[in-house]
Chain A
Amino acid sequence: MSKGTYRDMWVYAERKGEDLSPVAKEMVSEARRLMDKYNLDYKANERVIVAVLGHKIDKAAKQALEYGADIVIQLDDPELEYFRLEAYTHALYGASIRAAGWDYDKPRYFLFPATHNGRDLSATYCAEAETGCASDCNKLYIEDPPIKHRFKTGGNELVLERILHMKRPDFSGFEWSTILCIDNPDKDFHPQTCSVIPGSFKVTPITGRKSEIKKPAVRLTSKQLRVKTTSRKPVQKLDLTRYDNIVALGRGINDDPTKGFQLGVELARQLDAGLGLSRGVITASYDVDASVKQYLDEVRQIGETGQTVKPKVYVALGISGAIQHKKGMDQSSFIVTVNKDPETPIREFSDVYIVGDIFEVVPKLAAAIEATRGKKP
């Protein structure tokens, strides 16, 4: 399609049970802020439309109104009780296009949560809608940028209007890319879509706003329901928040990852602490010895896309403190860092910073802790 009509900012609001999830409240709040400014800047009257999917979800739908939704689209069907990628994609896409009764072809903007299911849904929704998605964003704004692009502007610099700027931390949080989704002259790419990292935006309750809940019928074909869930059972997850203290390993173990894990595991045992890992350790795919392999597991990741911990003491071994890691641990009461580089980002939020090689410092530190404890009455 080219030169279509697009309006409104849509939000896919995830539930946690019968309630709206925290990230959904953050996203509706942010969408409200963005569209209030948009309506002022462009003298427009476009809305925040929140889609809630599931079965018997009146409570979650009502909650969306408390954060500034203009319209809540409640897609309620027994087949949607639990998340199913194909069924959710078709139901959501079908509800968001002109055929569903809107006075536009597709939404102008669409926000998804960067959660497991939200990411998957953003991908398939965008594949169905033939548009682009910036994943894992943590800052959004709308402006009119000058753009020069071989295809999108025919190589000329043009000022494009109402472009959602979607900023995402790349490469474990060292780089920040600004992604735009832009029409080609002969082919539209809408909605401009992104997924947003939970915890990026402030929740702002809003009262007294005129708003409504719509409950359009959900129609799904048997083909759209071909993947079926046959069983579902809860599992015990490794929960690092139940530890009073945490020892965490970063890429500083690189010179000898097996030894690094051994040191971390031993220190954690000594301090009765949980063992955490930075994102960098997960993505480095270290080939560690079988004796410590069980600890090299993504469930131990601390940070924006892992667990958030607030222990009494957080011991960071060989962690540089990229923003993605910081978000998961900077509320710890006391942060002790060992790093051979005296100038790293984590120094800015550490209480004690030991400059030294973890392979030399940690055994000495463990011995000193043992001796210190022995002296106590």
Chain B
Amino acid sequence: MKFVVLVKGVPDFRHGHVKFKEDNTLDRGQTPTVLNPNDHLALQAALESKVKHGGDVHLISMGPPNYKRIITEAMSIYGDAGVLCSDIKLGGADTLATAYTLAAAINKIGGIDIVFAGFKSADGETGQTGPQVAWKLGWPVVTHVTRLTIDEANRTFTAERFVYDEVEEVTGPLPAVIITDPGFRPVYTKASHRLKHRDLSEDAKARAETSLDAIPVWGFNDLGCAEDTVGLRGSPTIVRVVEPIPKAPSERTALLLDGTKDNDIYEAARVIVQKMGAS
């Protein structure tokens, strides 16, 4: 079978990595870029499908040329091949324009059975790109997937999804777009699958380190999109202004204590026990 995983580079939001400008807005230039955390699960889902059904996993990302690094980072989890969509005409895209671009790349690879994507990117957090890619492909999409089974013979999938307080099981035809939930867990019950998973994971790590130069870059001309559907021009939305969220007025007056002083620690403990009203 043939699988695609959509991966994205996002600012590294870990404390100490993220940098701010003087006006307290995010300094993207100074903050390192990493693979979107939720994409790890989409990659795991694709790897699980490959272990059980064989085939190839293609990674697609979109961004500036140095985002090839994001693809190799993703490849260290799993990927047989990767491609970066990068072009000045594709830049500045919002979710709709991104969906057109990614759908074109998926169609260009061709013959895909399942596209996997993670739940929301850590930066935009819109959660829109995955469903919109499905829409532009004309394929069914299932979000919040925690478990996936594929029926190759009947060309269908069965997905367990977790929304609100319910677990739902849904079925639909392939090809399809599957958006993994943060609670997605691959299931390897057979020993042969566990061995294959281990071997493929090891191969992937070894291959990722040497694959950077081999990753092709597809530009606007390679994708065959209409110019008014992609990039800044194809984006319905613009960001008018970014501002720090205004500081709220003080609501409580905190008793300020010094954590290095034993007396202060005891005072805190006394108040906590008192307010808990417990013995």
Contact = CB atoms under 8 A, between A and B. Distances in A.
Interface in A267-324: 271-272, 280, 282-286, 297-298, 312-313, 315, 322-323
Interface stretch (A103-111, A212-220, A363-371): A363-371
B245 A350 contact: no
Interface string B152-188: 0000001000111111111111000000001100000
Given A348-B250, A364-B265, A368-B266, A232 B167 contact: yes
A127 B238 contact: no
Given A182-B238, A372-B266, A283 B37 contact: yes
B15 A175 contact: no
Interface centre among A152, A227, A251 (most CB of B within 10 A): A227
A177 B252 contact: no
A319 B40 CA distance: 26
Nearest to A227: B172
A53 to B, nearest CB: 16
Interface residues of B, number: 91
A345 B130 CA distance: 34
9 contacts: A123-B128, A124-B135, A128-B135, A133-B237, A352-B254, A356-B260, A360-B259, A369-B273, A376-B273
Interface string A339-377: 010100101111111111100110011001101110010
B251 interface: yes
Interface in B21-43: 24-26, 37, 40
Interface in A231-252: 231-235, 237, 244-245, 251-252
Interface of B: 11, 13-16, 20, 24-26, 37, 40, 94-96, 99, 122-132, 134-136, 140-144, 158, 162-173, 182-183, 228, 232-233, 235-245, 247-252, 254-260, 262, 264-266, 268-273, 275-279
A283 B255 contact: no
Interface in A151-175: 151-152, 165, 169-175
B90 to A, nearest CB: 14
Given A176-B244, A364-B265, A187 B123 contact: no
A145 B273 contact: no
Chain A interface main SS type: mixed
Nearest to B273: A372
B248 A345 contact: yes
